[in-house]
């Protein structure tokens, strides 16, 4: 089966991990801070806080922005469940803003409508909005940032797909229009640490708070303590935190992968361009981008055009899988999950997201994908959508 995504591990990556294993510290040593610095520098952000997953990083980002019971967080329904769960971990409510049918990202126009409607009706405005850069393609952060000014919400960019992507001449993560940006380093993502994630920000207070939340809420800074330290061994837990730390083993892999990030994104871009070219005459539409952005191309997703396609979405999907093409579907609208429906969401809540769900297919995309593999994928898709056997 040709996978939809796959990590690329070099000998240099392996050597970097082995070096940590043979050193004094396999966690809480010098490498995680180096990885944090490398990621923050890459995306022109002030600070990086590493975590043991992207999900953990989203959780501490919400907590650092004081998300709690009685608050509402809005995100897109076309995302991984973690983008919504992070708010629920904090006891907050989650709501969803429908997508743009062309970019598959949270629609700034629908966001503006929903905010205006909520204010008009005296509803609860969101404390935080979590736009997701779907597939690596940046949302229109300038538009969402302008609404944040008007309605007073904070922004966490879920950039789990988007490390190495650009928006308005700056890297995703620079924080021009947001408070915190979160990356994931799961093996299917653009770079990997096995499991792992990072939150980047330009706000030193937010960075310190997130780092503390990753380490049980414990501080060794006398300035933050209640009373004076008992002695040099002393620490205090000043709020409830977690053990969300990334190990130095993971960070070593991440640091080594960072040196390959530009190469990875350039390779993904070439694959995407080739798909665009090869799929031009098929009854599908690829993801559209907004001007002045560069996708990190975590995913290459197409929508079938039901009017022009010889077979149903499900038949096309099954036919591809039967032909050894490990296609996938990103994502099932989050609010349709039983654990979200319990809050009263019903089918039809975000019509564009549901229409998208009935048409979307994620094609394979990974660093080691050769032209031959790609032509096999395209041929299988051609047969599945046009019923042409050749």
Ligand X SMILES: *Cc1c(COP(=O)(O)O)cnc(C)c1O
Residues that bind ligand X (CB under 6 A): 53-55, 79-80, 82-83, 132, 158, 160-161, 184, 186, 197
Shortest distance in whole angstroms from residue 59 CB to ligand X: 10
Shortest distance in whole angstroms from residue 220 CB to ligand X: 28
Return the C-alpha torsion angle 107, 108, 111, 117, nearest 10: -120
Shortest distance in whole angstroms from residue 114 CB to ligand X: 20
Return the C-alpha torsion angle 85, 86, 87, 88, nearest 10: 50
Identity of the residue, 196 or 267, whose beta carbon is nearer to ligand X in the bound complex: 196
Shortest distance in whole angstroms from residue 330 CB to ligand X: 8
Identity of the residue, 7 or 55, whose beta carbon is nearer to ligand X in the bound complex: 55
Shortest distance in whole angstroms from residue 331 CB to ligand X: 8
Shortest distance in whole angstroms from residue 197 CB to ligand X: 5
Shortest distance in whole angstroms from residue 137 CB to ligand X: 12
CB of 292 closer than 8 Å to CB of 317 = no
Identity of the residue, 54 or 175, whose beta carbon is nearer to ligand X in the bound complex: 54
Identity of the residue, 79 or 247, whose beta carbon is nearer to ligand X in the bound complex: 79
Identity of the residue, 159 or 211, whose beta carbon is nearer to ligand X in the bound complex: 159
What HEC string does the chain produce?
CECCCCCCCCHHHHHHHHHHHCCCCCECCCHHHHHHHHHHHHCCCCEEEEECCHHHHHHHHHHHCCCCCCCEEEECCCCCCHHHHHHHHCCCEEEECCECCCCCCECHHHHHHHHHHHHHCCCCCCCEEECECHHHCCCCHHHHHHHHHHHCCEEEEECCCCCCCEECCEECCCCCCCCEEEEECCCCCCCCCCCCEEEEECCHHHHHHHHHHHECCEECCHHHCCCCCCCCCCCEECCCCCECCCEHHHHHHHHHHHCCHHHHHHHHHHHHHHHHHHCCCCCEEECCCCCCEECCCCCEEEEECCCCCCCCHHHHHHHHHHCCECCECCCCCHHHCHHHHCCCCCCCCCHHHHHHHCCEEEECCCCCCCHHHHHHHHHHHHHHHHCCCC
Identity of the residue, 246 or 316, whose beta carbon is nearer to ligand X in the bound complex: 246
CB of 183 closer than 8 Å to CB of 254 = no
Shortest distance in whole angstroms from residue 351 CB to ligand X: 21
Shortest distance in whole angstroms from residue 313 CB to ligand X: 22
Identity of the residue, 59 or 209, whose beta carbon is nearer to ligand X in the bound complex: 59
Shortest distance in whole angstroms from residue 129 CB to ligand X: 14
Identity of the residue, 184 or 219, whose beta carbon is nearer to ligand X in the bound complex: 184
Identity of the residue, 111 or 156, whose beta carbon is nearer to ligand X in the bound complex: 156
User: CA 74, CA 349: separation in Å to the nearest integer?
Assistant: 14
Which residue, judged by CB position, is nearest to ligand X in the bound state? 54
Identity of the residue, 197 or 283, whose beta carbon is nearer to ligand X in the bound complex: 197
Residues 6+ away with beta carbon under 8 Å from 359: 303, 304, 305, 306, 313
């Amino acid at each position: 089966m040709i996978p939809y995504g796959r990590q690329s591990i070099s000998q240099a990556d392996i050597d970097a991990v082995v070096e940590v294993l043979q050193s004094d510290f396999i966690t809480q040593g010098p490498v995680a801070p180096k990885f944090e610095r490398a990621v923050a520098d890459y995306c022109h952000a002030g600070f990086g806080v590493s975590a043991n997953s992207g999900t953990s990083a989203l959780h501490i980002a919400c907590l650092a922005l004081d998300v709690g019971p009685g608050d509402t967080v809005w995100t897109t329904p076309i995302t991984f469940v973690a983008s919504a769960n992070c708010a629920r971990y904090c006891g907050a409510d989650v709501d969803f803003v429908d997508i743009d049918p062309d970019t598959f990202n949270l629609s700034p126009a629908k966001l503006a409508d929903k905010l205006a409607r909520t204010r008009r009706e005296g509803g609860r405005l969101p404390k935080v909005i979590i736009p997701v850069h779907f597939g690596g393609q940046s949302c229109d952060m300038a538009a969402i940032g302008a609404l944040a000014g008007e309605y007073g919400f904070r922004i966490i960019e879920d950039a789990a797909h988007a490390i190495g992507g650009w928006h308005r001449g700056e890297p995703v993560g620079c924080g021009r229009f947001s408070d915190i940006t979160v990356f994931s380093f799961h093996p299917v993502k653009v770079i990997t640490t096995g499991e792992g994630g990072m939150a980047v920000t330009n706000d030193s207070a937010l960075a310190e708070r997130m780092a503390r939340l990753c380490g049980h809420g414990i501080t060794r800074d006398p300035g933050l303590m209640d009373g004076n330290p008992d002695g040099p061994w002393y620490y205090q837990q000043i709020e409830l935190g977690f053990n969300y730390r990334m190990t130095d083993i993971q960070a070593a892999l991440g640091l080594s992968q960072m040196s390959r990030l530009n190469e990875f994104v350039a390779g993904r871009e070439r694959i995407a361009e080739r798909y665009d070219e090869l799929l031009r005459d098929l009854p599908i539409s690829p993801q559209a981008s907004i001007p002045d952005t560069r996708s990190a191309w975590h995913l290459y997703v197409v929508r079938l055009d039901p009017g022009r396609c010889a077979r149903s979405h499900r038949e096309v999907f099954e036919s591809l899988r039967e032909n050894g093409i490990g296609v996938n579907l990103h994502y099932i609208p989050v609010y349709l999950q039983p654990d979200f429906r319990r809050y009263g969401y019903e089918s039809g809540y975000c019509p564009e997201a549901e229409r998208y769900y009935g048409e979307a297919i994620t094609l394979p995309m990974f660093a080691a994908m050769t032209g031959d593999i790609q032509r096999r994928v395209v041929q299988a898709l051609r047969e599945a959508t046009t019923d042409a056997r050749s």
